[in-house]
Structure 1
């Protein structure tokens, strides 16, 4: 679900071409539902395995998931040739910020006849916290890069910094000393990356070469380089390149010029909390940082069960997104943890449910008349419903002939028999049909008549297509590494699959198509951000490229506290305020930026975009 607020593959399906059928498997069963549960469990153990590394859009893991889906369709007999002989609807989305290449990201030192050059990705990495530009100057060791007059400490006091390149150590002096004037063993705001970069800019440094502190380098993790965006993203005003350099890559240069290596300099600072800043001999440095947002090629996967007779050229869509949040990071609800997020429920459950629904529909009687069923596995839902929005913007089949869309998102955690069902008010036959079907399945339904919400059905509702959205609600493992297979309620999932199959079959065979009766479709107003929760506002985890938020200067890490003067404490507050807004409307977003005493409130003016 789009964030607003032990088994192996077994069949090794992904190693086969999509066109090659895969073997079926047999299990000892006592009922058809037992067979379905066994199939879904086996499929989910692959889709939510560590091998797929969280199925982030554009990743190798999601490519493996797409091939797996297609192989299952080929096994079932679902048609997979809708796009010039392929099941894939390809398109591009904005990717992550990344270095543009070694020719534009370089560091070369000069001292006499020596010109050591560092290697991108091995010795250093540019950081998005800094700017992208060329730099040059003398090399200056600037300690921890701290100016703290209240603590009688200034790494910049006695060295020529303006126009030169500074080496800055992570964290603070005396970090292991409980009696340190730098708040004992706790960090002060001077330790923050943004504070160090801002201080370097204040002193007009040409660039910052950032190195891990001794304690970090000697820890189990070792002296590893940051990911390019790990230190955050700087506002445009902080025009100073910042590059993370391995200690081993810069230590020999410092040792030769100053007679001491980084560890010795840090130890001296720790003895008396006095700076040891110095010009690094006659060494000069020249380099460049160049980071850009890549374009990532992604794919919706679409299978077809052909209709029969007069209704064959009308279409029923059954969909589920198959992406998740990959390695987490800013999309993780575990404090930005960088670890595999398998997404067994979100949305591995919907992905494998769609495969089981496809199998059952294919096995049903093909007697005419019957509408064509389109089985859609959407990519990039976690990036903001991008896969489904791509389809409705560039449909393979006419939208005016698409009679309904049924969506499954997070259907694997049925608890207390409670199933949440959205969209019953979008089709004139939907409420009666669901009431009748539920006499058989006996769910404790939570009915949401609207067709809006944070999943792919909303894209279809926005273009006037009646929708259903099946959902078993949020839980404590949402967008966390703990969303794993062993927590899935397969028996409950099988019952949901049975209800959705019956609903799909009824819509596909009824001589009367449902009439859209939802509110007048309108495109939703958007800021162009992904969100996470904090205690007293809504955190911005990502700012989409070319979005209203980016244009206004909003940054990852900002916390939204007001929107047009209305207080925002939760994602629900934000959604409620935004639901009354229209694309093109001008609004003021108040954000808190920074931490602790350095935090400040900024008002951003922007014109809402269309989503």
Structure 2
């Protein structure tokens, strides 16, 4: 499952604490008998064995852009060939093209003209971004700040029905940027902050700052906090073993001091007093990235002035907004205040054109040429006030300072995409009288790789994110359902397609590509069931999402029962996993999920930590659902309502979209 967007909101990105584990996790011993899932005999021993294979070190975390994913695909293909299922095309592997970067087809050119003086930028002073479009453009250069617009202010409703703003949305000067009221108030129709308000960019080239007003590069912040948490854990371990309370207090004070010093330019010390306090039980102190980042985000959200969503810092969002306003080209700059350290600010390094480091893919090319210039060069060229002063004013006042710069820019970019073929794996069990109706059951089989390749970070000596729960567990359950169907001798009325998606960890890319170009001819998909992280059933139980996509789901699940589990039934459709790609095509979906845990996206996600008893119970429910769907159960599509629709949060995160909860003690 890809990282929560919520973990990247506002200032920071965070991840769960790393825990070191064995470099070669063993396949767990299984003492669970096969279970009859409404007629399908599921053997949890087979699921355990498949998890052990896929989560072994030999597959090196199954990163989408590595040969390791290809080897995992070959394993799945062999299994389906042995089972005697049918491919959905020439073979079980169905490739889709994935754009990993770009290359220049001719040298890029960037020239700035002031009056009669032309200055050509050198290759060391700017770089074409991988998501850039191609073209030759010329126009006046306009500084547009961060090209950001604030989110709507939350409203409090008084008892008499009068709405008032919860936060002061004025800048430090007392004027409301983007507002149109002469008294400094913000009108109901205007945002509190808008860099493009009153500025003309039509036919011009925009100079735009990266990130959003008053916050740093979130990826750099995440990396720094991750390094700090790992160093903290290493030093804390022997202190805890020795019960050295004084040493732990000192360690915590020093680490917390570095954290707050790192963010004080964005969140003043007066707002961070409650962030990461020393616990009463000093021996229990942890540098928990989730909790620390959440505390910082809460502190930032309480600051007066306009608030900006995470997407406000996205290059794609900035460029699309500027293009909509008429800009013909874009120059981005990481301003000096957006760096986390003086060393990084001084280095002022530019990204590389073809880089897909850390799983950050460029996506489809943007509509106009886009380059990044070093801030020091921009500082020299733009005259007064300098770029550094403009950024400082914007951040301090939370008020735009967009303006024309008296320069003309000529920009020429010619790029061509760099793509690779990535395999989804599909296997079909043909149906009977309803064979033109397809039920898909799927799971992603990719994960986040190894340290230095993908999104994985090492935990001590363990440098491989094995992904046993995420998502060898779902992959293994899909395989076992396929085996059980085939060996049962039952012919479903509908065609069942067992599907394994690639690229989910990079943004549900495989399912998106498949949903856009289904290889089923005239047959249509009537329902999609997605299994993502079903191997670590814990006290919070099982979550089943997507119930709002069809009125048939809840009655069916009630009939199936809860197999003795605590279950949360969720109406909305989480965007973070592959079922969302099919929901966007008006296909009813279900999502089975046992929640995140301390090993999520960490090297500690090993096969020996899988809850096989829990998988057995979940398999019973999923198997029953699949039998009903295969037998022709009508699953009519239901448009989004109050308890449905897409949601960026995980199941249960919004009480308004929870259908119901069933406690284990109440289970039927």
Give 1:462's match in structure 2, choosing from 584, 591, 600: 584
Number of the residue aligned with 2:374:
238
- Counterpart-to-counterpart distance in 2, 1:515 and 1:419: 24
2:417 and 2:445 map into 1 onto residues whose CA distance is 23
2:47 alignment partner in structure 1: 40
- SS of the equivalent of 1:465 reads coil
2:534 alignment partner, one of 411, 416, 438 = 411
Summarize the alignment of residues 473-488 of structure 1 with structure 2, pairs less than 5 Å apart. 473-488=595-610
1:407 partner SS:
strand
1:94 counterpart residue number: 99
- SS of residue in 1 equivalent to 2:627: helix
- Contact kept, 8 Å, 2:42 with 2:484, in 1: the verdict is no
Structure 1 Cα separation of the partners of residues 25 and 464 of structure 2: 17
Instruction: Please say if residues 30 and 45 of structure 2, whose CA atoms lie closer than 8 Å, have aligned partners that are also in contact.
Output: no
The corresponding residue for 2:61 is: 54
Asked whether 1:497 is paired with 2:619, we answer: yes
Q: Give 1:352's aligned residue.
A: 476
- The structure 1 residue matched to 2:72, chosen from 62, 65, 71, is 65
Structure-to-structure mapping, 1:385-396, within 5 angstroms: 385-396=508-519
Q: Distance in 2 between matches of 1:56 and 1:397?
A: 27
In 2, the alpha carbon distance for the partners of 1:190 and 1:413 equals 37
What's the counterpart of residue 575 of structure 2?
453
Q: How much does 1:435 deviate? A: 0.9
- CA pair 431-571 structure 1, distance change in 2 beyond 3 A: closer
Count of residues in correspondence between the two structures: 362
Q: Which structure 2 residues correspond to residues 2-17 of structure 1 after superposition, within 5 A?
A: 2-4=2-4, 5=7
Which moved further from structure 2: 329-338 or 399-408?
Answer: 329-338
Distance 2:98 2:376 in 1: 28
Deviations 1:398-420 (A, max 9, x none): 68721111000000000137100
Please provide the CA RMSD for this pair: 4.7
CA contact (8 A) 2:59 2:71 kept: yes
Counterpart among 435, 448, 468 of residue 312 in structure 1: 435
2:566 — aligned with what?
444
1:300 corresponds to 2:444: no
Change over 3 Å in CA distance of 1:520–1:397 after alignment to 2: farther
Match of residue 513, structure 1, among 627, 634, 640: 634
Q: State the alpha-carbon separation in 1 of the partners of residues 511 and 373 from structure 2.
A: 36
Aligned position for 2:485: 361
Q: Deviations over 1:429-476 (max 9, x none)?
A: 21011011115x122110111234311111111111111100001111
Residue among 85, 106, 109 paired with 1:78 = 85
Assess if the C-alpha contact under 8 Å between 1:301 and 1:378 holds in 2. yes
**Equivalences for residues 201-600 of structure 1 within 5 A:** 236-238=372-374, 294-308=418-432, 310-327=433-450, 332=455, 339-367=463-491, 370-397=493-520, 401-416=524-539, 418-438=541-561, 441-510=563-632, 512-519=633-640
Q: CA deviation at 1:520?
A: 7.7
Answer yes or no: is the 8 Å Cα contact 1:197–1:240 preserved in 2.
Answer: no
Query: Distance between the aligned counterparts of 1:465 and 1:70, measured in 2?
Result: 26
C-alpha separation in 1, matches of 2:356 and 2:415: 9
- SS of 1:89 mapped into structure 2: strand
Match in the other structure for 2:33: 31
Q: Distance in 2 between matches of 1:488 and 1:382?
A: 20
Q: 1:235 to 1:485 in 2, by over 3 A?
A: farther
Q: Distance in 2 between matches of 1:482 and 1:30?
A: 24
Deviation at 1:364, TM superposition (A): 2.8
3-state SS of 2:62 partner: coil
Q: Which runs of 5+ in 2 are unaligned?
A: 8-21, 36-40, 108-122, 130-257, 263-338, 363-369, 378-413, 658-668
How far 1:291 moved relative to its partner?
11
Shift of 1:330: 9.4
Alignment-derived partner of residue 181 in structure 2: none
**What are the within-5 Å matches in structure 2 for residues 156-235 of structure 1?**
194-198=344-348
Structure 1 CA distance for aligned equivalents of residues 422 and 125 of structure 2: 27
Describe the shift of the 1:298–1:406 C-alpha distance in structure 2 as closer, same or farther (beyond 3 A).
same
Residue 553 (structure 1) aligns with: none
- Aligned residues of 2:23 and 2:464 also touching (Cα < 8 A): no
Cα shift at 1:513: 2.1
Cα distance in structure 1, aligned partners of 2:431 and 2:455? 41
- Structure number with the higher helix fraction is 2
Structure number with greater CO (CA < 8 Å, separation at least 6) is: 2
Q: CA deviation at 1:239?
A: 8.1
Which secondary structure state, in structure 1, belongs to the residue aligned with residue 617 of structure 2? helix
State whether residues 128 and 291 of structure 1, in contact with CA within 8 Å, keep that contact through their aligned partners in structure 2.
no
Q: Distance in 2 between matches of 1:51 and 1:501?
A: 30
Q: Which consecutive aligned stretches of 4+ in structure 1 deviate over 4 angstroms post-superposition?
A: 6-11, 27-30, 127-130, 185-193, 227-230, 232-235, 290-293, 328-338
- Output the CA distance in 1 between the equivalents of 2:566 and 2:55: 28
For each residue in 1:532-582, what CA deviation from the matched residue of structure 2 results, as whole angstroms up to 9, or x when unmatched?
A: xxxxxxxxxxxxxxxxxxxxxxxxxxxxxxxxxxxxxx988xx99xx9xxx
Shift of 1:30: 7.8
* Cα deviation, residue 298, structure 1: 0.6
1:109-131: CA deviation from partner (whole Å, max 9, x where unpaired) = xxxxxxxxxxxxxxxxxx99974
Structure 1 residues 71 and 57: alpha-carbon distance in aligned structure 2, compared to 1, 3 A threshold: same
Aligned partners of 2:530 and 2:589 also within 8 Å = yes
Q: Per the alignment, do residues 191 and 359 of structure 1 end up closer, same or farther by CA in structure 2, a change over 3 Å counting?
A: same
Q: Deviation at 1:425?
A: 2.3
